[in-house]
Amino acid sequence: KKPYVIVQATGNALTKAVTAAEVIKRRFKGLHQITELKTVEIVDEYEPLEEGLDKVTDVRNVSVVEIKLSKEPLDSSDKGYQPPIDESLVKEFDPEDMMRGRGRGGGTSKGRGKGSTGRGRGKGKGRGKERAKAKAR
């Protein structure tokens, strides 16, 4: 068993990391959290396709979030510290529930998906023109 887990993300994945951390906090009781925001400088170098041209460098600053979740108490004086949420909001993780599935259907009813039985309503011979003549009469 690990003492803590770190969820880390950059750029467009920041919101997904926060969502993942919130889901984890609602599955396991007593998780302390420290959130840290940083920026990382990324340097991209592009080699020219033609001979004699200079390399092009592009420097970008990318936001990074690092969320540390721990069963053991963390430094509560840290500015990114959050105490564990109320236990009434936590639905304890049960591996048995994960195996069962979510419900929805039961495999007995026939949906409207792609099935191999039935011929459907294809555009076979005379499908459109015959109807048009019938309506015109």
What is the distance between the terminal CA atoms of the chain, rounded to a whole angstrom? 79
pLDDT, mean of each 10-residue run, the chain (137 residues): 89 92 88 92 91 90 94 87 81 70 59 60 60 58
pLDDT of residue 68: 93
pLDDT of residue 34: 92
Contact residues for 95 (Cβ-Cβ < 8 A; gap 6+): none
pLDDT of residue 101: 64
pLDDT of residue 87: 76
What six digits make up the tokens of 12? 């467009």
Q: What residues form DSSP beta bridges with 8?
A: 66
What six digits make up the tokens of 114? 């792609």
